[in-house]
Amino acid sequence: MTAAESIAKIAEVLSTPQIEEFYIPLLKRLSQGKWFTSRTSSAALYPPVYSKVLWSIQEDLQKGFATLGADDTPMVRHAAAKWLGVRDIYPVSVPIETLAF
């Protein structure tokens, strides 16, 4: 099990206030990290909490995830593509033209 998988499992039992206070800042730091490895790992951390947060935070998560999909590094884009559509981040009903890739 990878570190990202472990964090994702922990996220499933966190309350919404805990997610907002601890998990979202962690996710933002990893997503904006200097090294591609942190950005790659962060892609797996979006789905477990997406449906647990308020709409305004979901919009921020969508923007952060879209940034990963447009990253300069192929490994980061690949990781984002792997998690695209998982759970609620970008449900199938969202037209591809509306995504900010």
The answer to whether residue 5 scores a pLDDT higher than 70 is yes
CB under 8 Å, gap of 24 or more: what pairs does 74-81 form?
75/36, 75/40, 76/36, 76/39, 76/40, 76/43, 79/39, 79/40, 79/41, 79/43, 79/44, 80/43
Find the mean pLDDT for residues 30-52: 90
For residue 101, is it within any domain?
A: no
Provide the domain limits for residue 20: 3-90
Higher model confidence: residue 31 or residue 89? 31
Residue 96 lies in a domain: no
Residue 99 in any domain: the answer is no
Q: Mean of the pLDDT values across residues 13-35?
A: 93
Q: How many domains does the structure of the chain reveal?
A: 1
What is the pTM (predicted TM-score) of this model? 0.76
